Amino acid sequence: MKHALFCLALCSLLMQAVAQRIHVIPEPATVQEQPGEFILDNSVVVVAPSADEQLTGTISWFKDRIATATGFRLSSAKTGGKTLRIELKDGEKQEGYQLVVSPKEILLTAASPAGAFYGLQTLLQLLPPDIESSKTITRTWAVPCVSITDYPRFGWRGLMLDVSRHFYTKEEVKRYIDEMAKYKYNIFHWHLSDDNGWRIEIKSLPELTKTGAWRVARTGRWGTFTSPQPGEPAGDGGYYTQEEIREVIAYAQSRYITILPEIDVPAHSLAMIAAYPDLSCTQLQYAVNPGSPFYKKDDNALCIGNEAVYEVLDKVFTEIAALFPFNYIHVGGDEAYKGFWDKCPRCRKRMAQEQLKNVDELQSYFVKRMEKLLQRKGKKLIGWDEILEGGLAPEATVMSWRGMKGGIEAAKMNHHVVMSPWEYCYLDLYQGDPAAEPPTYGMCRLSDAYQYDPVPDGVEEKYILGGQGNLWTESIANYRHIQYMTWPRALALSEVYWSPKSKRNWDSFVAKMEAHFVRLDTAHVKYSRSAWNAVVKPVKDNSGQLAVQLSTEISGLDIYYTFDNSDPDNMYPRYTGQPLVFPTGAANISIVTYKNGKPAGEQFTVSKEDLLKRMKDN
């Protein structure tokens, strides 16, 4: 009996040790952990019976990844010894794979080269975090023995990057694609035009990049900048040549990421109008906007009554369609101020000719015409949920950003939907208390991103293609800040879009994420630890006085605080759950979190004045 209990306890300890080694994000469909490990060294042979060209490229990519950190290059010579065997087999789940690791062999089977790529990404996550190093490290490279069966819940797993508000180089875009690929994203939504910059070469319309890609330089808080001054040089910006576009497309394809291009029309078009002023209702000469207030003052919408607009857009989308292989093109369609249309003689004439009741139907006319234009080029139209207004184009796909409502409406009309509701998926929002964050707007915490589901009640899942996180860059002026705003919320969303809903577990995800922070550190990827900060909520006590309620997103944290303007640590008062009232004369509360006696989150200070404002705003 004692021997049996001892064996049971030993097995339990062994399984706990194994469990600590498996930190795969997104969570696979099934994971069967086993004791033992496979040692990856320069004697390992890669065996791939398939002659598939894509798979050959993927194996070459994997060998390069392994060589960078380990210093040895895996061989493909057919010799004895340990093997990494990669096989393609027919299967229903085209992006799925099975990975079985034993001490002598790693066997990866997949239904497609994409599935093999995702399996290799998982294999890299099973290796120590040092595999992310850009320099050779001498160590033992052990892979825990495990059997994993995995496949995605959704076919559309995307991230969007806005390169109009701030321009990012070709190499920075490639790096973003690499970081996406590690977590099994497969759609890169490239927001290539807006009021603040036109970013793609259109050979038949050279002014789009000669004029539209450049604006006056401004630094500081977006939306507060002064307008361009007479004679001020427009030297801030940039664009991608068509050759660079092709290079990025090929780079993404080699990582099984499809690029969705977006040209935002009819509104958000000030950069286009700056290049060709006759395209707006006012036909005034505007400058590319540098981040100064202009809404309802400058006309940033194309004139729907002007036939020249459609001739220009035909040229734009002809070249876009030829460049991008994806069957979708995103046309925006969002946030159109319709006041200029309402007063425009040409738009009023168009409404009369087409028997349109109002300017909402006028925009719908435009979107439906864009759909036909794209169909002639072999493409499908996708747009933001405003394209529902005035009537949805017959075969349009809706990307729902203003909550889930637009997506629900479109799905119930039997249209396909990509869910990206701002309160769960907008990566440019605050991810923690504004007092501890770079300035932006709104709130989307890590737990918000993780706990939402793209399929609302009452909607057939077959109409939900998937979803994506959106990163608008008004407040993001450099690549390090892109990383900080993307990660770890994009880790959460990767699990939302890939993993079975039943496999998602917040506490388990947090534990895995902390392990992945070591990997991100090794790869020099900046990320946010805002989820470890205290959550500060202003409330009123029983007497109506301002009080402060503190909590944390992540369990197991202790909160310490002070009202006396000193820096708290774990020797200060610990928050016990009751709202705190400001002592007489106190103007600020300073807060810090600890975990197991060590600092966990950032210390930050919130003023009484700010809390009163928050209470009023809410």
Are 304 and 341 in contact by the 8 Å Cβ rule? The answer is yes
Structure tokens at 520: 């991100």
DSSP reduced 3-state for 427: coil
Calculate the CA dihedral of residues 114, 377, 329, 288 and round it to 10 degrees.
Answer: 140
Q: Which of 33, 31, 62 is nearest to 46 (CA)?
A: 62
Residues pairing with 591 in the sheet: 561, 604
Marked catalytic residue, from 87, 247, 335, 423: 335
Query: What are the C-alpha distances in Å from 545 to residues 551, 562, 582, 609?
Result: 20, 18, 9, 13
Are 531 and 435 in contact by the 8 Å Cβ rule? The answer is no
Spatial separation of the C-alpha atoms in residues 310 and 302, rounded to whole Å: 10
Spatial separation of the C-alpha atoms in residues 84 and 82, rounded to whole Å: 7
DSSP 571: T
Structure tokens at 263: 């040209």
335 is catalytic: yes
Alpha helices of 465-532 — where are they, by DSSP H?
A: 479-486, 489-498, 506-522
DSSP 44: -
DSSP reduced 3-state for 275: helix
> Token match 């320099």: residue?
135
Q: Which of 476, 387, 376, 369 is nearest to 431 (CA)?
A: 476
Amino acid at 146: V
Q: How many CB atoms lie within 10 A of CB 9?
A: 10
State CA 136 to chain mean position distance: 30
Amino acid at 237: G
Bridge-based pairing of strands 397-400 and 380-384 is: parallel
Alpha carbons within 13 angstroms on the beta-carbon side of residue 57 total 11
Bridge-based pairing of strands 83-88 and 45-47 is: parallel
For every residue of 110-142, DSSP letters joined together read ESSHHHHHHHHHHHHHHS-GGGG-SS---S-EE
Spatial separation of the C-alpha atoms in residues 86 and 120, rounded to whole Å: 9
What would the 3-class secondary structure string for 172-200 be? HHHHHHHHHHCCCCCEEEEECEECCEECE
- Residues with a catalytic annotation lie at 335
